[in-house]
Structure 1
């Protein structure tokens, strides 16, 4: 029978910890929540050797044992043995070889807790590219713990790491006798007295009991004793922490001089500083940022135009082909006007989504995205946020769900709530299909000064409109959230580097796959349900329409094609979908919408991008066989009201785009806000204020431009 151990996997953010977790556990993973918090708990099992298996607990990334964020507190409590569910026998710490000085701070703290530890050294290839040479044996001697170079993505070093884990678990590696620094000297009397009242504490762990005992699950008498020790010895938390960090970095610098050789950083530093002088300039920096965003949205249109046109034409031809070869039956109608129209509504937007995410990945990889956070911190603070709010908000351009979850990195509770509250106003990728089709309908394809596309400018304007309204909303909301807490903005600016093109391509493909699979499932299901609602209605009403047009056909045999089109419209109006749309038309007609747009507003509450699939299905069902070979854009462009006027005018198009900028039409976002805030108060407030804002702003837009 194999011995089973529990291992905590820890490390700085972006050090390769998740890659190692995936390499060790493969498919044997589970995701839950740590008790009482919204931080994910990832665990998995792995075989260490013939006689040993392990449960790996992947703890949230953290820079040191002084937690600030909620996820850092989770890792801290586990390492301080204050978590009842997770009590690891040893720690595997991941350290980034290309940034050893910062990573060794956390490593030295864990070593001083006197927990058995194995260090996995990642990013060795990146360190080599930077000209950094590491004497692993010397580093191992200085730290007193096993150090194994690994590359989890290529599965290199994993057998050696498992061997070191087994030997450490069997106590073949002894814990370092001496502390990394003289922890006792930081507060001699206080440390000694705490160790007398709490058994089996290292000197360093005793310091953490003095600093954070209020957050530990200790009985009242013990809490009072430690509090008394603090007061008697006049223990200063801030001073002790500062002295400790200073001493650790001094010792780390000595170790790195002995075990690591680096090239002169002067040339790279000078290049980075020269670029930052321009890109972070108080005036030019903002102009460059606007130019970068402008270019990004222009490219979304320029580069995607031809593949999108080709996809639209392909699906129109496909619908026409199947209409010619399939017999007239309900199932062929379902296949052509339900399934093919629905799939076409998904696939046509893949080029734009891939291009948008590819460009965003390039900004991240080059190091410019971090500069955007730095640039906008001053503006963010004026509205109640801080620079760290920028990353969730920029992530909101992709999807609000992971963006809201990433707000956990914001230490200040008020700023975190405000960030969650306004992030759904950022135009996510689900809105992109809606914007694209409406801009193509109502905005002329013109160029200003020969190189600036008007359509790209409007697209950028919609994204900026959401951003501006998010800032205004945050400014107003900050007066109603009564939480007073100081906040700090500390950001490590990476060096500029060329983008990893493989990473860009992988991201583009994965995002397209997510859109097709996740959004596609919803769109297809709703398209099929909508086809049924659009094709069937109350028997009496549908029969009356058929009878009416049979009589008209007999009276006017030369107008057969016209009557067929009118019959399709009448049948759609009297279907269940038509009845639903007509019932809400009085409420939405002031915004310039007809009953078909009303149906799309209802169905797109499940997911905004369903708007396009809904329109594709409605106009396919209405148009009948004659409409199968026309594209959706052509169908919408030809749509008219009962009085013969066009449906999609400039006023209606702008009103509808503005509605989708502001409306909270995403059930997944509401669910994740409830989970992150642990209350229905915030998602309900979002639903109310965003829907009200969408209605009022759309009303103003239509009345101004009609």
Structure 2
């Protein structure tokens, strides 16, 4: 073996199987000194950061979770490209994270990384679970057999993190002798020719070069032809060699496990097994999942109501104070009618967003979310979805963008495409502000046997999205023909007490992203809307201003004068640029129960769904008396049809509006990501047209039936 202590290193790649605590270790080693990007030429996330507390500048790269470095998906392809420096700067060393409870499986990847000739160190994480499961790892014996530094850790409790930090700072990574002699799989003559032509060091690196040749975008046509001729002349089937390499490697790993692992009495998995018999039951499992989600939504309404009302009232008061204390003019109107209501339209939903993500983090940290993945696989398969589709679809409840990107881990191309196309039908957090504000208007805040009507309505909207997603997947399965088979590989971790600090950090982080990312869009649109709603064609606006002044002069009382001001404020809004746009589409949306103001909100929310609330906040504020501390909810509740005097936001209109938002493709960022993932404009255009057309039809039927 070759020790590297004392030598300077600048980049360390962190690699491991999915769900081994790799990202947790990365986060603790780097702290907040991180950034997210993409690997060159691919859409896979690239997380990088610098070692916290180090005097040297040492960059850590968190590679995507993978079970091997063979290219079954883009994630696994990235791992090889980074470790070999094929398309990115090659790291100086690799930190391989292994699951102490599943050491045999993790060593398949770990020994592959060793054989690439990279300086390596192993971290055996989750040592506490191994002890509970009666697994004893003879770490000294494992070190002697592999020649690789080993550190036992429990990342959840930060146990062993300081040892990892010292190992990296002092560069105690080591190169080991090859674990598997690749000449047992492929004759050395072929490998020698590959090494000579492409200046490669090590037989295993040359072997992997041949395996990845089809995916190597740096190879010229001449080199590809040379490799093809070499394999043909040597009568080598590289796919068969790859399978043989895995078989022989697993044989050696099994032999090694007999020497370094002893199994005793399990202390910790008995409770998990008993609980799984209930939570994974083919009937009760689904009922329990629905019950948990209902409790989550009921808590969101019950716990968020007070802070929401406080925020709503605070921004109404702020608008009133600005209007009352600043001189009259355009700037004051902009602040009180545009900027403040726009910001309020963002901040008011922070309590629900934080609670939703907090509950999801809680379910994930306890280990229950992995059970949901396993449970839902039974439903997914007949509908044309992969078991791994569950993870993107569940993450789509937060945002469709990472959900679409998460589908890249699905190796089956048909199931990957179906997942991408149906993911936006899952009710994301951007729809939550729309649901919350409308449910609060049309559904009474009452309960039935302890079940809150508003919570039931919100659960119903989420279930509607799930049903639509599964039904859409089934239809696509019938149209997209492919016979490729796929299988689900997942784990059921032991149930654990949630890390409350991690849950709180998730709540804070997701809320921050919502405020900063969604907030920028909402605020920008709100400002543009205020301008469009405050100004119109000069000929129209001047004529209305003259009419108003004339009528005010002839008014016989202050009350009559105030009525005239309110009347012409409404007329000014209707004749503004935004009013003209809304009036032009009103004939098309009136059968759905929407007026022209809602139509404006529909148009603007095609940039992002959550803009809907901010749009109405701005439109209902323009021309109103800001001295009156009226909240957005009150403004929407008081809105009436001019011709009938009936409320605009009644039950038929409200439910129709929620149905439209449940199905319409109203997110330009998602469209862009779908284009990038599918590498074609065909699918995002198809997706947008079909989803929005279906949304219109569903909303039309809903309104006509309920009214």
TM-score, reference length from structure 2 = 0.88
Q: Distance in 1 between matches of 2:392 and 2:22?
A: 22
1:568 paired with 2:549, answer no
* Distance (Å, rounded) in 2 between the aligned partners of 1:35 and 1:346: 34
* Aligned counterpart, 1:104: 107
Alignment of 1:215-364 (within 5 A): 215=215, 217=219, 219-227=224-232, 229-230=234-235, 238=243, 241-257=246-262, 264-265=265-266, 267-364=267-364
Superimposed CA distance per residue, residues 242-272 of structure 1 (whole angstroms, 9 cap, x where no aligned partner): 3432431331342234xxxx7632x422211
The answer to whether the 8 A contact 2:213-2:224 is kept is no
SS of residue in 2 equivalent to 1:369: helix
SS of the residue 2:162 aligns to: coil
* CA drift at 1:279: 0.7
Moved more, 673-682 or 87-96: 87-96
Contact 2:16 2:96 in 1 (8 A): yes
Aligned counterpart for 1:144 among listed residues 141, 144, 147: 147
Deviations 1:9-59 (A, max 9, x none): 422234454466567778887765445532244566789999x97665543
Structure 1 404/232 Cα, relative in aligned 2: closer, same or farther at 3 Å? closer
Report if aligned partners of 1:407, 1:419 keep a CA contact under 8 Å in 2: yes
Q: 1:71 aligns with which of 71, 75, 86?
A: 75
Q: Deviations over 1:269-314 (max 9, x none)?
A: 2211111111111111111112112222222112212221222222
Contact persistence 1:124–1:149 (CA under 8 A):
yes
The equivalent residue for 2:4 is: none
- 2:187 corresponds in structure 1 to 191
Aligned to 2:162: 156
Q: Are the counterparts in 2 of residues 378 and 386 from structure 1 also a CA contact under 8 Å?
A: no
* Residue 425 (structure 1) shift: 0.8
1:12–1:94: 8 Å Cα contact kept in structure 2? yes
How far is the alpha carbon of 1:105 from its aligned partner?
Answer: 3.0
Partner of 1:10, secondary structure, is: strand
With normalisation by structure 1, the TM-score equals 0.88
Q: Which residue of 1 aligns with 2:613?
A: 612
Whole-Å Cα distance in 1 between the matches of residues 465 and 357 of structure 2?
19
* Residues 643-654 of structure 1 mapped to structure 2, 5 A cutoff: 643=643, 644-654=645-655
User: Does the C-alpha gap of structure 1 residues 66 and 569 become closer, same or farther in structure 2, counting only changes over 3 Å?
Assistant: same
Q: Is the 8 A contact 1:151 1:157 kept in 2?
A: no
Change (3 A) 1:39 1:599: same
Separation in 1, partners of 2:492, 2:65: 18
In the TM superposition, what whole-angstrom CA distance separates every residue of 1:372-398 from its partner, at most 9, and x where no partner exists? 111111211111102211111111111
What do you get for the CA RMSD once the two structures are aligned?
3.2
Contact 2:36 2:48 (8 Å CA) reproduced: yes
Gaps of 5+ in 2: 1-6
Which has the larger displacement, 242-251 or 604-613?
Answer: 242-251
1:481-520 matches, cutoff 5 A: 481-520=480-519
> For 1:176-215, what aligned pairs fall within 5 Å after superposition?
176-177=176-177, 179-180=178-179, 184-185=183-184, 187=185, 190-199=186-195, 215=215
1:92 aligned partner: 95
Contact 2:133 2:269 in 1 (8 A): no
Aligned length: 686
Change in Cα spacing, 1:141 to 1:573, as seen in structure 2 (3 Å) is same
Tell me how far 1:463 sits from its aligned partner. Answer: 1.0
- CA shift at 1:502, angstroms? 0.9
C-alpha spacing 1:408/1:253, structure 2 compared with 1 (3 Å): farther
Q: Distance in 2 between matches of 1:419 and 1:570?
A: 47
- The CA deviation at 1:181 is 5.1
User: How has the CA–CA distance of structure 1 residues 299 and 698 changed in structure 2, closer, same or farther, with 3 Å as cutoff?
Assistant: same
| 1:496/1:423 CA distance change after superposition, 3 Å | same
Structure 1 residues 344 and 263: alpha-carbon distance in aligned structure 2, compared to 1, 3 A threshold: farther
The answer to whether 1:687 aligns with 2:688 is yes
CA distance in 2, matches of 1:497, 1:398: 23
Partner in structure 1 of residue 418 of structure 2 = 418
Alignment check: 8 A CA contact 2:138 2:260 kept: no
Q: Gaps (5+ residues) in structure 1? A: none
Q: For the residues of structure 2 that align with 1:49 and 1:323, how far apart are their CA atoms?
A: 53
Moved more, 301-310 or 432-441: 301-310
SS in 1 for 2:121: strand
Query: Partners of 1:561 and 1:232 in 2: how far apart?
Result: 87
Say if 2:9 is the partner of 1:13. Answer: no
Q: Counterpart of 2:3?
A: none
| 1:461 matched to 2:423 | no
* Structure-1 residue corresponding to 2:603: 602
**CA displacement at 1:83 relative to structure 2:** 1.8
CA, structure 1 residues 211+552, in 2 after alignment: closer, same or farther (shift >3 Å)? closer
Partner residue in 2 for 1:523: 522
Q: Partner of 2:665: helix, strand, or coil?
A: coil
> Structure 1: how far apart are the matches of 2:269 and 2:30?
39
Deviates more, 1:231-240 or 1:363-372: 231-240
Checking the alignment, whether the CA contact within 8 Å between 1:213 and 1:223 is kept in structure 2 is: no
Q: Identify if the C-alpha distance between structure 1 residues 422 and 53 changes in structure 2 by more than 3 Å, giving closer, same or farther.
A: same
